[in-house]
Amino acid sequence: MSEQELKGKIGIVTGGSSGIGFQIANVLAEAGAIVYNISRTGKPKEGYGESAEGVIHIRGDIGDTEAMKTLLTEIAGKNGGAIDFLVNNAGASFKCRAEEFPEEQFDRVMNINVKYVFSMSQLAYPYLKKAKDKGRIINITSMSAHLGFSQVVPYCASKGAVLAMTRGLAVEWAEDNICVNSIAPGWFRSELLKDVLDPEREKKILARMPFHAYGDTRDLGAMARFLIGPGASYITGQDFAVDGGALAFGY
């Protein structure tokens, strides 16, 4: 891959003020892309430092459809009416046993992880169609789309839905100049992981993969860079695990 292989491309990362989204945005920008990073804070969270040149932080609520519609129109207007990529990274979870799971938290997880992923894809669709080298959507799934985990069952359900959505959109939009893929992160340090982690759970997590260690979030950025780059125009409907071998691990 060339150092500036994404030069001239303009796109969006959601939920990029920290963790996975923050580094995906950085890696894409370092490869030459202009990345509009939408988050509730509109800036990197404390302790994350400065973003790479080319990352533009925007404060926004992806659940506000009208605001997002206006924003995407403005971004596309700076690129001849096109958007080259959309990375649906924003996510939410809540730790609670299934029989006690609050309905309002279930709705929150499903809205952020599924409904808003779909609505952002819908809003980006007319601009992704106009991309010169095929528009690209990357959804962030999870090990939870493939494996069952206790105390986060709605999260598992939501990520399974995103995986199914990825495949469905890939098929439906294949003739519309759009590739749709997903990345399934294994275990990386992030704000979302902190919300559900405790010492016992961490011990189980690290024992559940061949490398027995957390990953580097820049590896997820490298996968996104590949999927958005010139070498991935014939790849669609696929889920790429970056997981330290977790899905392959037997005993």
Take residue 186 and report the two structure tokens written for it. 């294994």
Tell me how long the chain is: 251
Burial degree of 157 (CB within 10 A; 0-12, 13-18, 19+)? middle
How many Cα atoms within 13 Å fall on the side-chain side of residue 159? 25
State yes or no: is 155 an active-site residue.
yes
DSSP state of 176: G
Measured CA angle at 47 (ends 41, 48), to 5 deg: 70
Task: State how far the Cα of 149 lies from the Cα of 156, in Å rounded to an integer.
Answer: 7
Task: State how far the Cα of 221 lies from the Cα of 190, in Å rounded to an integer.
Answer: 14
**Of 125, 155, 214, 251, which one is the catalytic site residue?**
155
Active site residues: 155
